[in-house]
Structure 1
Amino acid sequence: MSNIAAKAISTLFAIALGFLATSTMANTDNAAIAERIKPVGSVCVEGDDCGGASAAPAAAGGARSAADLYTTKCAACHTSGVLGAPKFGTSEWTDRAAGKGLDTLVNNAINGINAMPPRGTCADCSDDEIKSLVEYMVDSAK
């Protein structure tokens, strides 16, 4: 290929690239861009006026029983005693309640202790539900 042909092809390519860039830039409208990148939703904090929307109640479906919560949230560790968890229905619970007191056991369950993370596996449990769970496990040993 001759030197003139190579220059002609390069020039045509540059012109085509220029037209493409110009037409792309001409089709960009700031309002259209803003519409494409706008947030999908927003966060409504309780107590703020969010256009009449109300947050779902924390315990939808009513109160949960300690027995149901134990079965779904606690049994995995407290049935078998994983990593030293006191086993359900054993004297370990009465010994702990007598030695530390119920308030300390509840505080440990809320804040975590040893291998147990805060709230165990019940991150959506309220403090009152955690207290009822601890009482349920202590009562299981009596």
Structure 2
Amino acid sequence: MKKITSALVALGLGVALSASVQATSNDEAVIERIKAVGSVCIEGDDSCGGAAAAPVAAGGTRSAEEVYTAKCAGCHATGAAGAPKYGTSDWADRGSKGMETLLANAINGINAMPPRGLCADCSDEELQGAIQHMIDSVQ
């Protein structure tokens, strides 16, 4: 009888241990599924291990072509939502409005174009360069 009792106790401990391991495994799986996808590092926050980069590289402003390609081409290459298409007479006509007007339109938005287009991190000078790049595409 003692052997049967010992076997049952061992079996009970084994089941309890197995259930505990399974619960831990389930807890770990739940934690893995609900963990944050990413984290936000703000420039100057040392707790990120220096992962936060400055908005503009130390080399200065981006070139007009870089800004156009990265930020403006999404609409201006295809004419999406009525955007004047790069390399077409659309820009010859726009150039007659003058840079001051075109820059103000880019900064404030016009028609379907939101303020600053898709370049919230562009300086006014970078926007002006991208506009000039688009005007120059028809000359």
Give the aligned residue type for 2:63: S
Match of 2:106 among 89, 105, 109: 109
What is the CA-CA distance between 1:128 and the residue it aligns to?
A: 0.6
Aligned to 1:5: none
Mapped partners of 1:76, 1:59: distance in 2: 21
Question: Rg: which structure is higher?
Answer: 1
Question: Residue in 2 aligned with 1:97?
Answer: 95
Residue in structure 2 matched with residue 131 of structure 1 by the alignment = 128
Counterpart code for 1:113:
I
The 5-angstrom pairing of residues 1-142 of structure 1 reads 58-62=55-59, 63-98=61-96, 100-142=97-139
Gaps of 5+ in 1: 1-43, 45-55
Structure 2: state its 5+ residue gaps: 1-43, 45-52
Please report the RMSD computed on the Cα atoms of aligned residues, expressed in angstroms.
2.2
Question: TM-score when scaled to structure 2?
Answer: 0.59
Q: Offset of 1:103 from its aligned partner?
A: 1.0
Give the total of aligned pairs: 90
- Distance in 1 of aligned mates of 2:66 and 2:125: 15
